[in-house]
Amino acid sequence: MERRTIGAAGLAVGAVGLGCMPMSWAYSTSQQRGDRSLRTVHAALDAGVRLFDTADMYGPFTNELLVGRALKGRRSEAFLSTKCGLLVGDQHIVANGRPGYVRRACDASLRRLQTDVIDLYQLHRADPEVPVEETWGAMADLVTAGKVRALGLCAVGARAGRRPGSRTHDGTIRQLERVQQVFPVSAVQAELSVWSPDALDDLVPWCAARGVGVLAAMPLGSGYLTGTLKPGQGFEPDDPRARHPRFTAEMMAANQPVVVALRRVAERHGATPAQAALAWVLAQGPHLVPVPGAKQERWAVENAAAARLSLTERDLAELAGVPRARGSWDC
- CATH assignment of the domain containing 146: 3.20.20.100
When divided into structural domains, the chain yields a total of 1
Residues taking part in catalysis: 58
Pairing of strands 3-6, 11-14: antiparallel
- Provide the β-strand partners of residue 119: none
At residue 167, the pLDDT reads 58
pLDDT digits (tens, 9 = 90+) for 68-120: 999 999 999 999 999 999 998 777 889 999 999 999 999 999 999 999 999 99
Residue 205: C-alpha distances to residues 158, 190, 201, 212 (Å): 15, 13, 7, 10
Which DSSP string do the residues of 44-109 spell out, in sequence order? HHHTT--EEE--TTTTTTHHHHHHHHHHTTTGGG-EEEEEESEEE-SS-EEE---HHHHHHHHHHH
Amino acid (one-letter) located at 86 = L
The residue-averaged pLDDT of 131-145 equals 98
- 176 exposed, middle or buried (CB, 10 Å; 0-12, 13-18, 19+)? buried
- The pLDDT assigned to 331 comes to 28
Is pLDDT of 31 > 60? no
pLDDT mean over 11-21:
95
CA angle 121, 122, 125 (to 5 degrees): 150
How large is the greatest C-alpha to C-alpha distance in the chain, in angstroms?
54
Q: What percent of the chain has a predicted confidence (pLDDT) above 70?
A: 92
| Residue 158 predicted with pLDDT over 60 | no
Instruction: Assess whether pLDDT exceeds 50 at residue 39.
Output: yes
Q: Is the pLDDT of residue 4 over 80?
A: yes
Per-residue pLDDT at 29: 60
Within-domain flag for 322: no
pLDDT of residue 164: 38
Give me the half-sphere count of Cα atoms (radius 13 Å) on the Cβ side of residue 111: 7
Classify residue 158: in a domain, yes or no. yes
C-alpha distance from residue 209 to each of 62, 213, 218, 311 (Å) = 37, 10, 23, 24
Q: How far apart are CA 37 and CA 268, in angstroms?
A: 32
Of 1, 45, 43, 37, residue with least CA distance to 20: 37
More confident residue, 239 or 137: 137
Indicate whether 156 pLDDT > 90: no
Q: Is the pLDDT of residue 157 over 70?
A: no
Q: Which candidate, 135, 137, 153, places its Cα nearest to that of 145?
A: 137
- Residue 33's pLDDT band, with cuts at 50, 70 and 90, is low
Mean pLDDT of all residues in 267-287: 98
The helix/strand/coil state of 142 is helix
Q: Is residue 65 part of a domain?
A: yes
- What was the pLDDT predicted at 24? 84
Q: Is the peptide bond before 60 cis (omega within 30 degrees of 0)?
A: yes
Return mean pLDDT, the chain: 91
Asked whether residue 318 is assigned to any structural domain, the reply reads no
Residues 6 or more apart whose CB falls under 8 angstroms from that of 47 comprise: 1, 300, 301, 304, 305
Residue 161, pLDDT above cutoff 90: no
Higher-pLDDT residue of 11, 312: 312
Dump pLDDT digits (tens) for 198-233. 999 999 999 999 999 999 999 999 999 999 998 878
In a domain, 81, yes or no: yes
Q: Model confidence at 235, in pLDDT bands (50, 70, 90)?
A: confident
Quote the pLDDT of residue 326.
72
The answer as to whether 25 is a domain residue is: yes
Q: Give yes or no for residue 166 having a pLDDT over 60.
A: no
Q: Contact 115/72 with Cβ under 8 angstroms?
A: no
38 domain-assigned: yes
Residue 307: name the closest of 18, 21, 53 by CA: 18
pLDDT at 287 over 50: yes
Amino acid at 235: F
Entry field: residues in the chain: 331
Position 7 pLDDT exceeds 90: no
Res 330: pLDDT = 40
Coil, strand or helix: which one is 299?
helix
Residue 303: name the closest of 80, 48, 35 by CA.
Answer: 48
Q: Which of 245-249, 292-296, 313-317 has the lowest mean pLDDT?
A: 245-249
Q: Which domain holds residue 34?
A: 3-221+273-309
Percentage of the chain beyond pLDDT 90 is 77
Query: Does any domain span residue 314?
Result: no
Q: Is pLDDT above 90 for 325? A: no
